[in-house]
Structures are given as C-alpha cells and as structure tokens.
C-alpha cells in the first residue's frame, strides 16, 4: 500500500489584536528595561530638565498656558476630523486628545492602509504646523526689544509643548495616531528609520523619543520573524517611500526641535522676567 504524502498544516496567523498586544508587551519590556539600566548607570540623564513654565511663570501668564495647550489639542484633533471629512469617512467625535478621533473614525471601518495612514498623519501634521507658527511668533517678538533679543518665552513654551505632544501621538501603538501609520511602513523603512532615531537619541536624550523606539522595535521584530503580515504591501511603492520618509523625518524633527526648545526655555524665562 502506497502511503499518501502528509499535508503540511500551516498554523493560523495571529489576529491583529494579538499582534498589537504582543507589540505592546514587548515595547513595555524594552522601555522598562532601558529605564532601569539608565537609572542604574546614567541617572543624570533621567533627572535632566524641569518644568517648561515654572510656578512663578504660570502666575505671570495666568490662564494663558492652559488655554494655549487646550487650543493646540483641539486644532490637532480638528486636523484629523477635516481630513476624514474630505475623504468622505463617517466622522465620529470624541472629546479627548491623543488621536482619539482618528481611532473613533477608523476602528469600525474595513482596513485600507493608505487611507488609515492619511488620517493618522493629519493630526500630527496639523499640530506641528501650529507649533512652528508659535515658534515663528516667538522669533518675531525677539525684535520688539532690540536691546535684549529675548522675545516672549510664552510662545516658545507653547511651541515646545506642541512639539512633544505631537511626537507622543506618533508612538506606533493603537490608539495613538502612530498606530494607524505603522501598517504602511515597510521593514526597510523601520530598519533605516530606527537606526536614525537611535542615533538622534544618543545625541540628545528624549524620553518621548525613547518611547517611539521601544514600541517601534517590536513591530520591526514581528515583521522580520514573519509573524506580522506585510500590511505595507497594500500601498504602492511610491506611497510606502513617502510614508517611510515622512514618518521618520517628522519623528526626528519633532524630537530635535522639542529637545532644543526645552533646553533653552529656563534661560529665556529668567531673562524675560529679569532674574
């Protein structure tokens, strides 16, 4: 009797929810491990920096910092809503930041990687434009007092908050907007992008950028092990190139200007207040 060849049975692919849970768990493990290592061997890096606007400065500006932060979050979310409306997607509102509206709009729809990516980019790009505008206003105010050339640090402080807020929303996990962009990134983009981000991180320590690395690395590992599907193939090659360059340029750019403004803010506030 001739035996029939055994049929290979392929194990079913993990569900998207399972993959996101694995990425979250691995990312948390990476982040906690790195923070423990730094606390033991580089404690000064974890203690560098302080409040952008100290208590005395809040007294000086009154309610303006709170209003400024609130308006930046609202404009960030409005960018998502306007783009979704332009794409004729069903608009659902959530009165919360950190990409909540992107998730509310996209989570119940069939997955279309390019559409998800456009909606994911909308909020961070809108918010970054607002932060750059605030930074520009600060530069203009520098020339109001020709003797000091300090400018009004309130506008730079609001820009700094915006830089870090928009960078945080780009962490590649759901329900943040970076989680809707991540499926469009090819393994090659993750490789070169992570190398560039780590180089920037070793140049200037940035806790939010460390979070980006910690949660992006598991995504890259899952793709290399072929455990996560190549969802980026749902985009054309030009689209994948555009997303890869755009995402990591935005991440590194926000980290760079955010860290710089955060470092110079205390000196500028003291100079503006005559301390």
Q: Which domain holds residue 240?
A: 18-33+52-272
Please count the CA atoms within 13 angstroms of the CA of 189 that sit on its side-chain side.
Answer: 24
Residue 267 has pLDDT above 80, yes or no: no
In a domain, 164, yes or no: yes
Contact 160, 52 (CB under 8 A): yes
Q: What does the alpha-carbon distance between residue 15 and residue 19 come to, in Å, rounded to a whole number? A: 6
Tokens 């923070």 belong to residue = 35
In a domain, 2, yes or no: no
What pLDDT is recorded for position 63? 63
In a domain, 202, yes or no: yes
In a domain, 44, yes or no: no
Mean pLDDT, residues 206-210 taken together: 85
What pLDDT is recorded for position 96? 66
Mean pLDDT of the chain: 78
What pLDDT is recorded for position 56? 45
Q: Which two tokens stand for residue 188?
A: 């090659």
The residue that leads in pLDDT, 222 or 118, is 118
Measure CA 227 to chain center.
Answer: 24
| Residue-wise pLDDT tens digits, 69-112 | 788 888 888 888 888 888 888 877 776 666 666 767 777 777 78
Tell me which DSSP letter residue 205 carries: -
Query: How many domains in the chain?
Result: 1
| Residue-wise pLDDT tens digits, 238-264 | 999 999 999 999 999 999 998 888 877
In a domain, 43, yes or no: no
């Amino acid at each position: 009797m001739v035996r029939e060849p055994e049929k290979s049975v392929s194990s079913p692919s993990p569900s998207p929810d399972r993959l996101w849970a694995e990425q979250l768990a691995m990312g948390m493990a990476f982040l906690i491990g790195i923070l423990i290592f730094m606390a033991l061997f580089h404690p000064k890096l974890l203690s560098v920096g302080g409040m952008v606007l100290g208590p005395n400065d809040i007294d000086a500006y009154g309610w303006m910092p709170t209003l400024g932060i609130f308006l930046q979050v609202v404009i960030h979310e409005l960018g998502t809503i306007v783009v979704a409306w332009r794409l004729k997607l069903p608009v659902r509102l959530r009165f919360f930041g950190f990409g909540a509206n992107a998730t509310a709009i996209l989570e119940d729809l069939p997955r279309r990687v390019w559409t998800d990516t456009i909606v994911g980019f909308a909020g961070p790009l809108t918010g970054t434009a607002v932060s750059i505008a605030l930074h520009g206003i600060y530069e203009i105010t520098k020339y109001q007092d020709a003797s000091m050339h300090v400018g009004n640090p309130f506008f730079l402080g609001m820009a700094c908050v915006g830089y870090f807020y928009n960078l945080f929303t780009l962490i590649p996990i759901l329900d943040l907007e970076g989680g809707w962009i991540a499926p469009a990134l090819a393994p090659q983009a993750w490789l070169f992008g992570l190398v560039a981000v780590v180089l920037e991180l070793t140049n200037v320590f940035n806790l939010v950028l460390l979070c980006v690395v910690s949660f992006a690395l598991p995504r890259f590992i899952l793709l290399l092990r072929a455990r996560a599907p190549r969802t980026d193939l749902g985009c054309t090659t030009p689209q994948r190139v555009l997303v890869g360059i755009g995402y990591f340029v935005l991440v590194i750019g926000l980290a760079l200007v955010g860290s710089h403004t955060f470092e110079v803010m205390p000196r500028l506030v003291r100079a503006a207040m005559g301390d």
